[in-house]
Amino acid sequence: MTEITMKASDNLNIVIVGHVDHGKSTLLGRLYADTGSLPDGKIEKVQAICRQQGKEFEYAFLFDAFLEEQEQGITIDTARTFFAWKGRQYIIIDAPGHKEFLKNMISGAARAEGALLLIDALEGVKEQSKKHGYLLSLLGVRQFAVVVNKMDLVGYRQDVFDGIEKEYREFLGQFKAVPQQIIPVSAKLGDNIANRSEQMLWYKGPTVLDSLGAFKKEPGRSEQPLRMPVQDVYKFDARRIIAGRVTAGRVKVGDSLVFSPSNKRATVKSIEAFNVEPLPVEGHAGQTVGITLDEQIFVERGEVASHQEQLPLVSTAFRANVFWLGRKPLERGRRYQLRVATKEVDCEVAAIHRIIDTMDLAQQQGSNVVNRNQVAELTIRAKVPVAFDLSVSFEATGRFVLVDEYDIAGGGIVTELVHDDQEFLREEARQRDFAWVKGEVGVEDRAQQYGHRAAIVLVTGGRHAGKSFLAKKIEARLVADGRHAYLLDGGNLRRGLDADLSEGERGQAAEMARRYGEVARLLVDTGLIVISTTNPFGLAYSEAAQAIRTLVHPVPVIAIHMSKAPEEAPPNTDIVLSGPTDFDEATRQILEELKRRGVLAQAIGAKPTFQYSI
Amino acid sequence: MQHLRQLEDQSVYILREAYKHFDNLAMLWSMGKDSTVLLWLARKAFFGHVPFPLLHVDTSFKIPAMIEYRDRVAREWGLQLVVGQNKEALAAGMNSSMGRVTCCTALKTNGLKQLIEQKGYTGIILGVRADEEGTRAKERYFSPRDKHGDWDFRDQPPELWDQFKTTFPPGTHIRIHPLLDWTEINIWEYIKAENIPFIDLYLDKGEGTRYRSLGCAPCTTPIQSTAKSVDDIINELRHTTTAERSGRAQDEGRGMELLRKDGYM
Ligand SMILES: Nc1nc2c(ncn2[C@@H]2O[C@H](COP(=O)(O)OP(=O)(O)O)[C@@H](O)[C@H]2O)c(=O)[nH]1
Ligand SMILES: [Mg+2]
């Protein structure tokens, strides 16, 4: 492969934002025109269309491609435009300024690595000037220049410029954003766009074009601790490849990795690639890679690989700043899908702390809903523990989106970990798993031998609901089918393992659940399907079930709740049985669920997920 | 080189997201330079495999060399090829003399829609690039199409960071565009860097002409060019200021906006 001299050495995505009509599209057109970057005949063509429609020529028409945009003279959706200058290829995204199209502005800005924020010198700082400035910071766009446009309309006066600079810097200062530059320009007349203005000799700083050149490509994310969210696991051939994008740091052949939140560990055997000779030995931030491991551990999309010294946070809850774009307002208590990096999980908004007024950041208001285009501080609670980071430390794993029905309806950044009641047990499990001494036989080897994976079938409910009867029936059925199953009875633990405890201590459901969970953890490590009931915990079954889940994590827990009359089941219950139970039907349902969860091979849903192949 | 790898990484990420989220996924392959690069990127993403079918909407007016190339590459790379054709329209005598937009709508747009409906595809991967023309510049990576295959460009879903629209109501489908950020030069630079086999209609074979963009024979005209190698093409593109699709007839007037709104690629 011979290398030819490439003109472009890197790419940079830039977004242009600001209040409607402050001149974003004009600036873009002018930038292209003044650097000779437009195709032949493009200006003439647009001029002809304008003449035909009896309108004055506008540079903005060069990129406002939709008929409707030209008729209304506004940008509806972002356009990606391409521009090469001094060895760099830019994709410049012209974002709409109209508040109705905020979701389009945000989509444009979210992929940007640098931004130009326009303010009309005559109109001054407006509502969207502030909102966009605040959102840039929320979206993680830290490199930006403020462009004070239409200086021709204020006689190119420095005092007007200084006034806007002062006001806007003060606003930005409230959330610690600092622009690279503040540039006075006239986009329409081409002052300080590509060429230095003759009209504003008082301004000594760079032109817009120069300031683009001074923007830096990603600031050293490769030097951070490793984060690699698992995107998918492939088994197209003999290789079992874990695919993902390295979002921070580096992954190297021979590295020992920890996957969170499952706490599984393995060493990187190879980094796979197609049409690359020899194979790479390292992947760094920004790259999409595929790795193989020295051991067949079961990892899934959504887990985050890191090194053991610098783990991501794990919890079911966090506090965040969120902007909402949904058609329907965001409501406290309503279910949404949370997506953090590659993890997709149900969540609810546990609290709306305040709505942030982007016009005046000091003002706050309480509310039960967050309306479209509002920014708010929330606490989000996920159905299962999620690995994430604070956005101040890690960009990609510190942000998330919320999906309402079919649409991405909001996005946000994680500001704080919220401690949940499982924290201590989770830490116990983590430490125990890291130090766990393993034999030669791995989990996958056992699964191969047994023809199924380990799991816990957990039957919850009040007294006399038929839990023990059902548990025994499932055990018998699984064993009859040739599976390795075992009924773990709480009473047996009481008389043996817990014999050292006083009567009072035995009344403490938390410690009893911990002991029970650790025994269950041992049993599932042997590859068994453990059937258990929450009988020993009496009415504290909900808390006990939660503790057991945390301690056996990430082994699948199939939760069944039984009651005589309909009642609320503990969170994450899979099968609810209320009223008189048809035990054969219940057993059938449970076997189905075991198949669906990949514990018993077969029937894995519509699409083969290769990691389940046993 | 680095800029090509950055583009590659993003496209590969998008392809893997598409594969993860769509049960019934297919990739459109027109045998042109863009969709061939896209196909190559799929082999990159899936480590030498292409785990979904490749669709070719055959208008019957393609240049014969394209069909030969298609069948040869499909054989060599072990591709699953699905060819669709709007037979009714062809039987009724559809051709470009009935109007270019009419012909494209019948043979390409409707040909594709028929194929999607027949096979029930929920995700279609296409090699469109933002720099080709104005409406494509406004596309999302994951772009929903309604029950009629129409594109509602007035109300596109938000696309944040690496999170895309991967859930959608039944009956609708998503168009996936992994090449949006690539320019025409990037495509050729990548073909060069990866040594991707491409169809030689793109090269001048001594007559001083070559194709810059490949479509149907009646509606695509070769350009004046003496580029005989990929290097020549890259060099030529660096010095040209003519739009790529100037040899493509359907782009005239508002042709493309109207075509694309109705589901054209
Ligand atoms: N006088 C003057 N008018 C400008 C300037 N820049 C833009 N405009 C005008 O402001 C209007 C809005 O511009 P446009 O670029 O569409 O604004 P956008 O909504 O921010 O994209 C148009 O009529 C432009 O001609 C400038 O520097 N000076
Ligand atoms: Mg505009």
> Rounded to a whole number, what is the distance in Å from the CA of A360 to chain B's nearest CA?
25
d(CA A157, CA A556): 69
pLDDT in tens, A340-385: 999 999 999 999 998 888 777 766 677 889 998 889 999 999 988 9
pLDDT (mean) for A29-36: 90
A407 in reach of chain B (CB within 8 A): yes
Residue A491 has pLDDT above 50, yes or no: yes
Residues B104 and B19 both lie in one domain: yes
In chain B, which residues have pLDDT < 70? 241-259, 262-263, 265
| β-bridge partners, A251 | A283
- Which positions ≥6 away from A191 have C-beta within 8 Å? A151, A152, A156, A184, A185, A197, A198, A199, A200
Residues B158 and B243 both lie in one domain: no
Residues B199 and B129 both lie in one domain: no
With a 6 A CB cut-off, is A573 part of the ligand 1 pocket? no
Query: Under an 8 A CB cutoff, do B242 and A40 touch?
Result: yes
Residue A435 has pLDDT above 90, yes or no: no
d(CA A494, CA A498): 5
A3-213: CATH architecture:
3-Layer(aba) Sandwich (3.40)
Which residue in the block uniquely carries the two structure tokens 């045998």?
Answer: B31
Q: How far is CA B80 from CA B28, B121, B173, in A?
A: 12, 15, 21
- Cα–Cα–Cα angle for A337, A566, A534, nearest 5°? 80
Q: What is the pLDDT of residue A611?
A: 37
Q: What is the pLDDT of residue A2?
A: 33
Residues B160 and B29 both lie in one domain: yes
Q: What is the DSSP letter of B167?
A: -
Residues B45 and B130 both lie in one domain: yes
- 3.40.50.620, 2.40.30.10, 1.20.1050.10, 3.40.50.2000: which CATH number matches A313-420? 2.40.30.10
Mean pLDDT for all residues in chain A: 88
- Which positions ≥6 away from B122 have C-beta within 8 Å? B22, B23, B24, B25, B168, B173, B174
Pairing, β B54-57 against β B25-28: parallel
pLDDT (mean) for A73-97: 81
With a 6 A CB cut-off, is A26 part of the ligand 1 pocket? yes
Chain A residues whose beta carbon lies within 8 Å of the beta carbon of residue B186? 89
SS3 at position A272? strand
Residue type, A405: E
Q: What is the pLDDT of residue B245?
A: 57
pLDDT (mean) for A12-36: 91
Q: Could you identify the atom of ligand 1 that is nearest to the CA of residue A149?
A: 27
pLDDT band at A40 (very low <50, low <70, confident <90, very high): confident
Please list, residue by residue across A58-87, b when 16 or more beta carbons sit within 10 angstroms of its beta carbon and e when fewer do.
Answer: bbbbbbbbbeebbeeebbbbbbbbbbbeee
Q: What is the pLDDT of residue A8?
A: 52
Residue A167 has pLDDT above 90, yes or no: yes
With a 6 A CB cut-off, is A188 part of the ligand 1 pocket? yes
Q: What is the DSSP letter of A473?
A: H
Nearest CB partner across the interface for B46, out of A234, A337, A405: A234
pLDDT (mean) for A97-103: 78
Which residue in the block uniquely carries the two structure tokens 């242009």?
Answer: A16
With a 6 A CB cut-off, is A109 part of the ligand 1 pocket? no
Which residue in the block uniquely carries the two structure tokens 């890679």?
Answer: A289
In a mutagenesis test of the B interface, which of A10, A76, A77 is the best target, namely the one with the most B β-carbons within 10 Å? A77
Residue A415 has pLDDT above 70, yes or no: yes
pLDDT band at A333 (very low <50, low <70, confident <90, very high): confident
Chain A residues whose beta carbon lies within 8 Å of the beta carbon of residue B130? 79-82, 91
d(CA A558, CA A448): 21
Query: Under an 8 A CB cutoff, do A77 and B168 touch?
Result: no
Residues B243 and B172 both lie in one domain: no
d(CA A359, CA B156): 27
Q: What is the pLDDT of residue A140?
A: 85
A567: how many CB neighbours lie within 10 A of its CB? 12
Residue A157 token pair: 């006066």
pLDDT band at A434 (very low <50, low <70, confident <90, very high): confident
Selection from A33, A76, A86, A93 nearest residue A58 by Cα: A33
Q: Could you identify the atom of ligand 1 that is nearest to the CA of residue A19?
A: 20
Selection from A305, A307, A306, A292 nearest residue A233 by Cα: A292
Query: Under an 8 A CB cutoff, do A10 and B3 touch?
Result: yes
Peptide bond preceding A278: is omega within 30 degrees of 0, i.e. cis?
yes
Residue A456 has pLDDT above 90, yes or no: yes
A333: how many CB neighbours lie within 10 A of its CB? 10
A108 in reach of chain B (CB within 8 A): no
With a 6 A CB cut-off, is A346 part of the ligand 1 pocket? no
pLDDT in tens, A592-602: 999 988 898 74
Residues B166 and B203 both lie in one domain: no
SS3 at position A466? coil
Residues B116 and B219 both lie in one domain: no
d(CA A364, CA A360): 9
Residues B85 and B206 both lie in one domain: no
pLDDT (mean) for A29-42: 86
pLDDT in tens, A559-583: 999 988 888 888 889 999 988 889 9
CATH topology for the A221-306 domain: Elongation Factor Tu (Ef-tu); domain 3 (2.40.30)
* Least confidently predicted of A61-70, A228-237, A403-412, A455-464: A61-70
Nearest CB partner across the interface for B157, out of A11, A288, A408: A408
Query: Under an 8 A CB cutoff, do A77 and B156 touch?
Result: yes
d(CA A229, CA A342): 6
Residues B138 and B257 both lie in one domain: yes
B93: how many CB neighbours lie within 10 A of its CB? 8
CATH code assigned at B257: 3.40.50.620
Boundaries of CATH 3.40.50.300 in chain A?
3-213, 426-596
> Which conformational region is residue A536 in: left (phi greater than 0), alpha (psi within -120 to 50 degrees), or beta?
alpha
Residues B95 and B173 both lie in one domain: yes
User: Which one of the ligands is nearest to A119 CA?
Assistant: 1
Domain count, chain B: 2
- Global model pTM greater than 0.80: yes
Boundaries of CATH 2.40.30.10 in chain A?
221-306, 313-420
Residues B31 and B106 both lie in one domain: yes
- Give the range of the structural domain holding residue B7, as residue numbers without chain letter: 2-183+251-261
Q: What is the pLDDT of residue A239?
A: 92
Cβ-Cβ contacts under 8 Å between A and B: the total is: 170
pLDDT in tens, A548-558: 999 998 899 99
> Rounded to a whole number, what is the distance in Å from the CA of A611 to chain B's nearest CA?
13
CATH topology for the A426-596 domain: Rossmann fold (3.40.50)
Residue A213 token pair: 């050149």
Contact A109, A17 (CB under 8 A): yes
Peptide bond preceding B64: is omega within 30 degrees of 0, i.e. cis?
no
